[in-house]
Amino acid sequence: MKEIPKYLDVAVVGAGPAGSAVASELARRGHRVGLFERDRFPRDKVCGEFLSPESMDCLRRLGCYDAFRAHQPPAIECVRLTAASGVETTLALAATARGLSRRRLDSMLFDLATRRGALAIDGIDVRRLEPVDARHIRLHLRRHVDGVEHNHRLTARLVVAAHGRRSHLDRTLQRPSFHDHSPFVAFKRHHRLLRGGTCPPLDGLVELHAFDGGYCGVSFVEDDIVNVCTMFDRRLLRSEQAASPARPFELIARQNPALARRLKTLEPCDTETLAVAPISLASREVTCDRILYVGDAAAMIAPLAGDGQAMALESGLRLARLIDHSFPAPPVGPWTSTFHRHYRRRLQLARCLQHTLIRPLPADLGLRLLRRLPRIGEALLQWTRSPAVETIGTTYRN
Ligand SMILES: Cc1cc2nc3c(=O)[nH]c(=O)nc-3n(C[C@H](O)[C@H](O)[C@H](O)COP(=O)(O)OP(=O)(O)OC[C@H]3O[C@@H](n4cnc5c(N)ncnc54)[C@H](O)[C@@H]3O)c2cc1C
């Protein structure tokens, strides 16, 4: 059992892509950093597991691109969009994207943080944050070892809150976003492709099937596994929450004929279907005293953009650089303005695209337009993406 110190320069809450990126970078720059994750790795997570081309830049910056490629994540060059009306179109991505399960990606990034020198501990829950004085903040942590509960307290100069889209910590921090009532639920399951079906090949593609109230992404991750991840308005479930793990997929298959054909070519390889709710895209504050929010905890981009992981990695790298420059003072102003400058427009555009795609008539008209003018679609895809990250800092080699 790793010992918890009494003092840290920076404590990072949550080891998703954002938290691990911040912790790795700060540790590499010589800060005393702790990275605390509630789950135990390796673990699965609801996600389309599509890593946009911009994520590749971030992984290179972090110095783990070779380790990432060792998992042989399949290349994705195009996106195939289908609407419930039967219209479909295929758009080229500006550069190669890849698919890797969160089980692999998050474990890899967590290990990287450890190797860089962060005190990275999983299976530990940050229960509460409490200001001590004008310069320090106290963390209350809890973990279970051999069934015995252990409570710990430590003091840090700064806290990076990278706890994702929703955590009980948001309630204790009294963030209004915790009480946002979004109607969206999401489900994910891994599958094997049954060869010889009537569907177009899936190799090199991510499919996005739209329907009234939601959409479903289908693409390969490592080891010939196909990830199916869907997000839709909970009203579609009606009273069926308690039904079988296959039920969400049966329901959405009825909404879009191309999706129904695709799902017939797949057989589940997971016995469980992972589910999360609610998926709120509500705006959140980016800083609060000595707490700096990053990744989904700062703002969640509509999953349809397939850019959440890149944004988490990239915002983590940016924040680490600002903290390094201003430590021990929190970079409150610079972080707020950096965040809004780089992400506000992308967040709005992705929300707008999602809004269009989950309505049958706009989705049908939109896809007809994109069939004629694919350049518009490709430009829209690009505008939801991170710009090149040269400005973030130097690349660190393994
Ligand atoms: C349905 C759906 C599909 C998506 N598809 C894609 C996609 O295809 N491509 C893409 O790029 N993005 C996708 N995303 C978005 C992507 O999953 C997120 O943007 C990304 O995971 C954000 O990373 P993060 O590090 O900010 O948060 P997270 O990955 O959520 O990590 C936060 C971590 O904090 C931990 N934590 C929470 N509370 C505490 C606590 N109190 N103490 C300790 N640890 C805590 C959690 O256990 C978690 O591990 C999708 C999202 C959804 C909902």
Round to whole Å and give the CA distance between 339 and 176: 19
Q: Which residue from 327, 338, 332, 329 is spatially nearest to 391, judged by alpha carbons?
A: 338
| Residue 240 confidence (pLDDT) | 61
Write down the pLDDT at residue 395: 44
Q: Tokens at residue 359, please?
A: 């309505």
Instruction: Indicate if ligand 1 lies below 6 Å from the C-beta of 169.
Output: yes
Nearest atom within ligand 1 for CA of residue 50: 8
From CA 7, how far away is CA 240, in angstroms rounded? 48
Beta strands 33-37 and 119-122 are parallel
Residue carrying structure tokens 């039967």: 86
Q: Which residue in this structure is represented by tokens 């090949």?
A: 201
Report the pLDDT value the prediction gives residue 397, as an integer from 0 to 100. Answer: 41
Tell whether ligand 1 has an atom less than 6 A from the beta carbon of residue 44.
no
Nearest atom (ligand 1) to Cα of 217: 8
- For residue 328, whether the previous peptide bond is cis, meaning omega lies within 30 degrees of 0, is yes
For residue 296, how far is its CA from the centre of ligand 1 (angstroms)?
6
Ligand 1 pocket residue status of 305, Cβ below 6 Å? no
Domains delineated in the chain: 7-180+279-388 (3.50.50.60)
pTM of the model: 0.94
Dump strand ranges (E) for the chain. 7-13, 33-37, 50-51, 75-82, 88-99, 119-122, 124-133, 136-145, 148-161, 184-193, 205-211, 214-220, 225-233, 266-268, 274-276, 287-288, 291-293
Verify whether ligand 1 is closer than 6 Å to residue 207 (CB atom): no
pLDDT of 383 reads 73
Q: Which two tokens stand for residue 207?
A: 């499919």
pLDDT for the residue 394 = 43
For ligand 1, pick from 109, 284, 296 the residue to mutate: most ligand atoms within 8 Å of CB. 296
Q: What is the pLDDT of residue 242?
A: 54
In angstroms, what is the span from residue 145 Cα to ligand 1's centroid?
25
Strands (E), 201-332: 205-211, 214-220, 225-233, 266-268, 274-276, 287-288, 291-293
CB-based contact 262:207 (threshold 8 Å): yes
Ligand 1, atom nearest to 55 Cα: 11
- Which atom of ligand 1 is closest in space to residue 21's alpha carbon? 25
pLDDT score, position 213: 95
Per-residue pLDDT of the chain (398 residues; tens, 9 = 90+): 889 999 999 999 999 999 999 999 999 999 999 999 999 999 999 999 999 999 999 999 999 999 999 999 999 999 999 999 999 999 999 899 999 999 999 999 999 999 999 999 999 999 999 999 999 999 999 999 989 999 999 999 999 999 999 999 999 988 888 888 889 999 999 999 987 667 788 999 999 999 999 999 999 999 999 999 999 998 888 766 556 778 899 999 999 999 999 999 999 997 789 999 999 888 899 999 899 999 999 999 999 999 999 999 999 999 999 999 999 999 999 999 999 999 998 999 999 999 999 999 999 999 999 999 888 888 877 776 765 444 444 444 43
Q: List C-alpha distances in Å: 223 to 168, 192, 205, 268, 272.
A: 35, 10, 16, 14, 19
Long-range contacts of 281-286 (CB under 8 A, 24+ apart): 281/182, 281/347, 281/351, 282/176, 282/177, 282/180, 282/182, 283/177, 284/175, 284/177, 285/175, 286/335, 286/336, 286/339, 286/340
Q: Give the residue from 360, 197, 345 showing the smallest Cα distance to 263.
A: 197
**pLDDT of the residue at 391:** 45
Q: Are 343 and 316 in contact (CB under 8 A)?
A: no
- Ligand 1 pocket residue status of 186, Cβ below 6 Å: yes
> Three-state DSSP class for 103?
helix
330 lines ligand 1 (CB under 6 A): no
What is the longest distance spanned by two Cα atoms in the chain?
A: 66
* Residue written as token pair 């710009």: 387
**Which amino acid residue places its CA nearest to atom 35 of ligand 1?**
14
pLDDT score at 196: 66
pLDDT confidence of residue 131? 92
Strand partners, 99: 50
Shortest-distance atom of ligand 1 to CA 141: 42
Is the CB–ligand 1 distance for residue 34 below 6 Å? no
Q: What is the pLDDT of residue 21?
A: 98
